[in-house]
Amino acid sequence: MKVKIPGKIIFLDGRYIEADDALFEALSPGVVKGKGVFETMRVYEGRIFALEDHWIRLKMGAQLLKMTLTYTPKEIEKRLYRIVELNRLTEAGIRLVVWQESQRRTRVSVVGRPLPPRKQQGPQGYRAVISEIRHKKTKYSHLKTIDYALLREAFLKAKHRGYDEAILLNHRDELVEGSRTNIFFIKNDVLYTSPVKSGCLNGVTRRYVIRCAHQLGIPCKMKTAPLEALLTADEAFLTNSIIEVMPLIVAGGQKIGGGKAGRVTGRLLAAYRELVRKSFAVSVCSVKGESV
């Protein structure tokens, strides 16, 4: 079978193998069956950013699910970088999934996919729908688990309609998160984002952006807000490891901030990218800790 996806070599259950479209799909969160956790990280010039932060969250998720991790942090790091090397990835996304099917052994996969070069002037922006799927908070909501079917469904429906993302509300019509992003908006030069207690993911990029805001002297409030607060915001953006800080220019068919990237968003994107650059200038990110 012809392999269509660049980055075709993956790590699966102790072996490096070639993967086709079907296998890539079968290893996706929301498709993988059983219980498990995953992390999606970004590769910059062949180096993985915030690897330790992602490992810590994955470990927390595994412990909450009462799963045994079969590799040490250093072994995982080695396999992640081996996938980067084998696929000659420079700018890329890389995903680690650890899961169990029924009571079987713990399984591990690592897949990587190349990304287009970053635009130094910043991205143009995303358009999002307001999903009819309501977000349901669980004790795992702040972690990345493979119980991802509803979020995946919301995303695929948005993509089918020609949009970039789906925004999920709770049963009170309050903002929670995107199907694969955290949501921020700015009103009167104050930055707002949903608190983790709302059920949103405790995103790694989210935390770094909040740190950047503090460094820039931008007030940041973590509070639950109604959808209307987003639709009437001065500007808004979405975050995750792959898209970094992405302007949200349309939500629910309504333009935000005139339908273009805002000034505060631009400052935070620049600060985030500088933070990434400095992290590699000090040392290559590495996973620390004992075998678990």
Q: For the CA atoms of 141, 143, 146, 151, what is the dihedral angle to 10 degrees?
A: 50
161: in domain: yes
> Same domain for 71 and 157?
no
Q: Averaged over 269-285, what is the pLDDT? A: 85
Cβ contact 164:128 at 8 Å: yes
Report d(CA 179, CA 167) in Å as an integer: 6
Instruction: Note whether residue 38 is domain-resident.
Output: yes
**Which one-letter DSSP state was computed for residue 174?**
B
Q: What is the mean pLDDT of the chain?
A: 91
Same domain, 83 and 205: no
Identify whether residues 147 and 240 lie together within a single domain.
Answer: yes
Domain of 79, in residue numbers: 9-117
Report how many domains make up the chain.
2
User: Which of 117, 147, 177 lies at the terminal end of a domain, its last residue?
Assistant: 117
How much is the pLDDT for 101?
Answer: 85
pLDDT in tens, 50-104: 999 999 999 999 999 999 898 999 999 999 999 999 999 999 999 999 999 877 7
User: Which residue, of 117, 139, 166, is where some domain finishes?
Assistant: 117
Where a domain ends, among 117, 145, 180? Answer: 117
Query: From CA 225, how far away is CA 243, in angstroms rounded?
Result: 23
Q: What is the pLDDT of residue 5?
A: 53
CATH code: domain of residue 152: 3.20.10.10
pLDDT band at 117 (very low <50, low <70, confident <90, very high): confident
Residue 62's CATH number: 3.30.470.10
pLDDT at res. 118? 73
Cα dihedral sign for 72, 70, 45, 202? negative
pLDDT at 105: 83
pTM of the model: 0.91
Percent of the chain, pLDDT > 70? Answer: 92
263: left (phi over 0), alpha (psi -120 to 50) or beta: alpha
Short-list 212, 214, 220, CA closest to 191: 220
How much is the pLDDT for 121? 53
